[in-house]
Amino acid sequence: MEKSLKSEKQSLKSDAVSSFLFHDRVVVDTDFSVVQSLHDRGWFGTVVKQKLELSLCEALYLLERGKIVVFDVVKKPLTVTGFIRKARLVDLRFPTRFKVYSDIRSRGYITKEALKFGADFSVYERGTNPQESHSKWLLFAVSSDDSFNWREFSAMNRVAHSVKKELLVGILDAHADVTYYSIAWQRP
């Protein structure tokens, strides 16, 4: 509870960059040097027409750290709790996806959305520049309460293999700890 209140106060820091929530994205539309700096410091988001488009996970990660302030459609600043509530309306798996995203990001890995690959995230090796190399892993975020059958598991593995990436499954347990399993494709 104390951490949550602290996070919400941090999200309203005066030196934070203003951004706006648009359904499943958060857009930073300010001086381009600020946009470029925010992007380049941690490879957050995608620069589109001199604006920075952040995924919901990227935006919450930056919001919790006081780097951005997110405004809703009526230009009201969102607290961390308010942002999570709105993100869940777009993505029911958001809490699990965010915890896994935040955990792997805090371990020093560049992590990007990987919807185009059919996964939750693509993950780059530490120290890698995403503009100069490809990601190493496709990461699927799951809760320990989730279940999936062998066909779904095989589909995850096939997707990763078909795009020449390693499969990584991040499992969020009931204590909010994430355990990662790397799964390799073996031909008999």
* Residues designated as active site: 124, 134, 165
Place of tokens 């390693």: 166
Contact 141, 113 (CB under 8 A): no
Q: How far is CA 84 from CA 76, 99, 180, in A?
A: 15, 12, 24
| Rounded Cα–Cα distance for residues 8 and 102 (Å) | 16
